[in-house]
Structures are given as structure tokens and as C-alpha cells.
């Protein structure tokens, strides 16, 4: 089924844009807004109809649950049960780039559609001022995956959102480029903490608060293997071009996604080249990852060669995204 086409407005972030966003959400519309991680696509989390429209606009599999964004821990505790580990993680990282998957309360008003029928709910308290202003003014949970077509590279600017979802959503709040550029880290705290998705909060920071184990990646087929949280599918964040990872040299006709100052042989003949961080800074590389992938993909090259990125800190999450982007699809 094709999504309903609509005129998409783009507004600079501010009080007027937030007020407009609240009106759009209240009538069941869709609003893209900046967070500290990537741009999110928001719908009224308590409206099954609004959430269904969100899935339709993104072309997102309906077995893939959404993250509910709320204003603070008190609002989150009204929706889910927190064990001791969850509370410690929330205290340490909220507001911020951490999502917790928790058992839903019996009276949780978030639409079953948003939680994909699971008895758990994914919750986050964002720190970006534009997101916080909008959520506070709306006064309820905002279901919000990344504001892109399902499976595409995540958006870090309003233009990325417009390129993917223009005509499919009602409003885009332009708050500039997102500072972190990677999605939130996701931890399930149903029993012992389980790392469901690497993200902007590095593993070491989580492990300083709670002992965690890793979850298996869900395959790309079948409702029987439905993920517990976003970002668990093996193929995800995918550009059109093929990605060749850990490239030590450049082949003819390839674009180069570089990292650091020590470029591989043939780099000077690259069809296109962008550097995640010429000085080898992993935080800068994370912020540039999705934007650079989109730009190189738009050049029309068949293959993007990607230099090795260290696994330390957020480098682990960068490599997770690159591996998923390079997976067969």
C-alpha cells in the first residue's frame, strides 16, 4: 500500500515550530525532529492510527518495535517497570542517548502497534533541547524511530529527512546537524541487562554501571524472529552502493570513506573521497558517518571502500553500523 502523500513543511527550530509540532502530533500527524543522536520521526505514541501511519510512511516492518520518547524518568516509570539495573542506568544516562527496553505496565497507554505486540516497551529521554521542548509541550509519549525510509542510512540533517520522506510526513523541524550522529544504545532490562544495539553511549560507559551480555542479531526474515528493539536486523542502514570494509588499498572507480591521516594507496585517484575524521577522532567520525555515507552514495559510484576504524569506544558502534550497511540484502 502506498503512503498517503502530503505537503511537508520545513520549519526552523523554535517556539513556533514546537507549537506547530504539538498541533500536528495531536491530530495524528507525523513530525521529524532533531535529537542528540539522529533525526527522529514522531507520532502520538498512544494513537494506533498515528503509529500505523508512521510505519506506512517509513515502509517499516510492523514487527519492528518503536522507541517511545518521554520527558523524564517519572514519565518513563509510569509506562514500565524498572529493576535496580534499569534505574541505575537511567540515573546515569538520562537525559541522553540510551534506550531501555523494560516490561510494560498493565495500564501502559502506548499503542500495541508501537510495541509490536510485545510485553516490553523501549523508552528514551532525549537530551536535545528541541526534542525536549516538543515532548514537554505535547505532554505524552512520542513514538519515534529514525526519520528515514526503513533500512536506509539514518538522517543527521533536516535535508536528509526531506530527501527520504518529503511528501510522506507533515512537518520537519530543522535544528541543524545532530551532534552525535549515531543512534541510541539499547539495553534490555527485563532480567539481567542485555545489550541489544550498540550506539552513541559506548560499551565501557555502560559496563561501568551494570554488567551486560550481548544479544544475538535477528535475521532479516520472518515474524518468528521479530526483534525486541530497533536496529537488530542483520542488514540495516544500507546505502545503494556496495560497501567494501577494512580497505587497505583503493580499486579503480571506487569512492573512499577514509579515517585518519594515513590514506591507503590509490586514494589520490578516488572517484570521490570523504574523511570521517582526518585527525582520527572517533567522536567526530561517529557524527559524520551517516552524512558521509549519504553523500558518497549520491555520487553514483558502485562501491565505497571504507578504511579500518578502531573498535575502541564509539568505534565499536561505528563498525556495527558499517557491518550492517555492508550485509547482503
Break the chain into its structural domains and give their ranges: 9-225, 242-326
Enumerate residues 6+ apart whose C-beta is below 8 A from 273: 255, 256, 258, 267
Neighbours of 72 (CB within 10 A): 14
Residues 63-82 pLDDT 10s: 789 999 999 999 999 999 99
Enumerate residues 6+ apart whose C-beta is below 8 A from 208: none
**pLDDT for the residue numbered 84:** 97
**pLDDT for the residue numbered 205:** 96
Q: The domain 9-225 belongs to what CATH superfamily?
A: DHBP synthase (3.90.870.10)
**pLDDT for the residue numbered 1:** 44
DSSP 300: T
All 3 cell numbers of residue 272? 570521490
User: Residue 162's Cα: distance from chain center in Å?
Assistant: 16
b (16+ CB within 10 A) / e for 272-300: bbbbbbeeeebbbbbbbbbbbbbebbeee
Alpha helices in the chain (DSSP H): 15-26, 48-58, 73-77, 84-93, 129-138, 158-165, 203-207, 282-298, 315-326
**pLDDT for the residue numbered 223:** 37
**pLDDT for the residue numbered 238:** 75
- Rounded Cα distance between 50 and 240, Å, is 29
φ, ψ for residue 326, nearest 5 deg: -90, -5
Summary mean pLDDT of the chain: 91
Do residues 68 and 110 lie in contact, with contact meaning Cβ atoms separated by under 8 Å?
yes
Sign of CA dihedral 128, 183, 77, 16: positive
**pLDDT for the residue numbered 61:** 79
Residues 252-309 pLDDT 10s: 999 999 999 999 999 989 999 999 999 999 999 999 999 999 999 999 999 999 999 9
Q: Do domains 9-225 and 242-326 have the same CATH topology?
A: no
Instruction: pLDDT band for 5, please (50, 70, 90 cuts).
Output: low
H/E run at residue 186 = strand 185-188
Residues 213-239 pLDDT 10s: 887 654 444 333 455 655 555 555 678
Pairing of the two strands 185-188 and 171-174:
unpaired
Closest CA to 180 of 308, 42, 284: 284
Mean per-residue pLDDT, 106-132: 95
Closest CA to 321 of 255, 260, 276, 279: 276
**pLDDT for the residue numbered 137:** 97
**pLDDT for the residue numbered 221:** 40
Residues 35-68 pLDDT 10s: 999 999 999 999 999 999 999 999 887 778 999 9
Number of H helices, E strands in the chain: 9, 15
Closest CA to 273 of 253, 252, 296: 296
Enumerate residues 6+ apart whose C-beta is below 8 A from 320: 197, 198
Instruction: pLDDT band for 4, please (50, 70, 90 cuts).
Output: low
Could you give the strand order of the β-sheet that contains 242-244, starting from the edge strand earlier in sequence?
242-244, 303-306, 255-258, 273-275
Residues 185-197 pLDDT 10s: 999 999 999 999 9
pTM: predicted TM-score of the whole model, two decimal places:
0.87
CATH architecture of 242-326: 3-Layer(aba) Sandwich (3.40)
Amino acid at each position: 500500500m502506498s503512503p498517503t502523500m502530503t505537503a511537508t513543511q520545513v520549519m526552523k527550530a523554535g517556539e513556533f515550530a514546537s507549537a506547530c509540532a504539538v498541533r500536528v502530533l495531536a491530530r495524528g500527524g507525523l513530525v521529524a525532529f532533531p535529537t542528540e543522536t539522529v533525526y527522529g520521526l514522531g507520532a502520538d505514541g498512544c494513537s494506533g492510527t498515528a503509529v500505523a501511519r508512521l510505519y506506512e510512511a517509513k515502509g517499516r516492518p510492523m514487527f519492528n518495535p518503536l522507541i517511545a520518547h518521554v520527558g523524564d524518568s517519572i514519565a518513563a516509570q509510569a509506562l514500565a517497570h524498572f529493576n535496580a539495573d534499569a534505574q541505575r542506568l537511567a540515573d546515569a544516562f538520562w537525559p541522553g542517548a540510551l534506550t531501555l527496553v523494560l516490561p510494560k505496565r498493565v495500564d501502559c497507554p502506548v499503542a500495541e502497534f508501537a510495541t509490536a505486540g510485545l510485553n516490553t516497551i523501549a523508552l528514551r529521554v532525549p537530551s536535545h533541547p528541541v526534542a525536549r521542548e516538543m515532548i514537554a509541550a505535547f505532554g505524552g509519549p512520542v513514538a519515534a524511530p529514525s526519520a528515514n525510509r526503513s533500512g536506509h542510512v539514518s538522517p543527521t540533517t533536516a535535508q536528509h529527512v526531506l530527501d527520504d520522506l518529503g511528501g510522506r510526513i507533515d512537518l520537519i523541524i530543522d535544528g541543524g546537524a545532530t551532534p552525535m550522529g549515531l543512534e541510541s544504545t539499547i539495553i534490555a532490562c527485563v532480567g539481567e541487562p542485555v545489550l541489544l544495539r550498540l550506539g552513541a553511549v559506548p560499551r565501557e560507559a555502560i559496563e561501568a554501571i551494570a554488567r551486560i551480555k550481548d544479544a544475538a542479531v535477528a535475521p532479516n526474515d520472518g515474524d518468528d524472529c521479530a526483534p525486541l528493539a530497533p536496529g537488530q536486523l542483520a542488514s540495516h542502514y544500507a546505502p545503494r552502493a556496495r560497501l567494501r570494509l577494512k580497505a587497505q588499498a583503493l580499486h579503480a572507480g571506487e569512492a573512499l570513506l577514509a579515517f585518519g591521516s594515513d590514506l591507503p594507496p590509490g586514494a589520490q585517484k578516488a572517484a570521490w573521497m570523504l574523511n570521517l575524521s582526518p585527525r582520527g577522532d572517533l567522536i567526530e567520525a561517529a557524527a559524520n558517518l551517516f552524512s558521509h555515507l549519504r553523500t558518497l552514495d549520491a555520487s553514483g559510484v558502485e562501491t565505497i571502500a571504507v578504511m579500518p576504524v578502531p573498535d575502541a569506544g564509539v568505534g565499536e558502534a561505528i563498525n556495527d553500523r558499517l557491518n550492517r550497511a555492508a550485509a547482503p540484502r
